[in-house]
Amino acid sequence: MELKEIMKEAGIVGAGGAGFPAYAKLADGADTLLINGAECEPLLYTDYIILKRETPMVLAGIKAVLEYAKIPRALLCIKEHTAEKLRWTEGQRLAENIFVKVLPNVYPMGDEISLIYEALGRVVKPGNLPITSGVIVYNVETLYNVAAAVKFGAKVTMKWLTIGGDIEKPIVVRVPVGTPVADLFEKYQIVVGENHEVLDGGPSMGKLIDPDTYVISKTTKGLLILPSNIEAIESKKISVERSVARAETACCQCTRCTDMCPRALLGYPLEPHKMVRTAMGAATVMPQMVISATLCCACGICESLACNQGISPKAVIANYKTLLAKNKLRFVGKEEVEALPERDYRMIPSERWESVLGVLKYDKVAEFVGETTEFPRVEIAFRQHIGAPSVAIVKDGDWVERGDKIAESADGLSLPQYASISGRVMIDEANKIIIDKVNYNV
Which residues on adjacent β-strands are paired with residue 158? Answer: 176
Across the range 312-321, mean pLDDT stands at 91
Asked if 308 and 254 touch (Cβ cutoff 8 Å), the reply is yes
pLDDT at 438 over 80: no
Report pLDDT digits (tens) over 231-262: 999 999 887 788 778 877 888 889 999 999 99
User: pLDDT value at position 273?
Assistant: 92
User: pLDDT value at position 28?
Assistant: 92
For helices 46-69 and 3-10, what crossing angle results, to 10°?
Answer: 140
Query: How far is residue 429's CA from residue 105's CA, in Å, rounded to a whole number?
Result: 45
Quick one: which H or E segment has residue 285? helix 280-285
Which residues on adjacent β-strands are paired with residue 426? Answer: 434
Across the range 93-105, mean pLDDT stands at 98
pLDDT at 440 over 70: no
Its pTM surpasses 0.85: yes
Query: How far is residue 274's CA from residue 429's CA, in Å, rounded to a whole number?
Result: 42
Q: What is the DSSP string of 8-50?
A: HHHT-B-TTSS--BGGGG--TT-SEEEEE----STT--HHHHH
Report pLDDT digits (tens) over 416-434: 999 999 999 999 877 899 9
Across the range 339-364, mean pLDDT stands at 96
Question: Which range is least confidently modeled, 12-16, 216-220, 336-340?
Answer: 12-16
Question: Which range is least confidently modeled, 23-27, 143-147, 226-230, 285-289?
Answer: 285-289
User: In the structure, what pLDDT confidence band is assigned to residue 308 with cuts at 50, 70 and 90?
Assistant: confident
User: pLDDT value at position 284?
Assistant: 85
User: In the structure, what pLDDT confidence band is assigned to residue 220 with cuts at 50, 70 and 90?
Assistant: very high
For the chain, the straight-line distance linking the first and the last C-alpha, in angstroms and rounded, comes to 38
Instruction: Please state, rounded to an integer, the average pLDDT across all residues of the chain.
Output: 94
User: pLDDT value at position 442?
Assistant: 45
User: pLDDT value at position 391?
Assistant: 94
User: pLDDT value at position 1?
Assistant: 79
Which region, left, alpha or beta, applies to residue 108 given φ > 0 means left and ψ of -120 to 50 means alpha? beta
User: pLDDT value at position 18?
Assistant: 78
Asked if 140 and 74 touch (Cβ cutoff 8 Å), the reply is no
Helices (H), 286-340: 301, 313-326
Helices (H), 163-254: 181-187, 231-237, 240-250
Report pLDDT digits (tens) over 164-192: 999 999 999 999 999 999 999 999 999 99
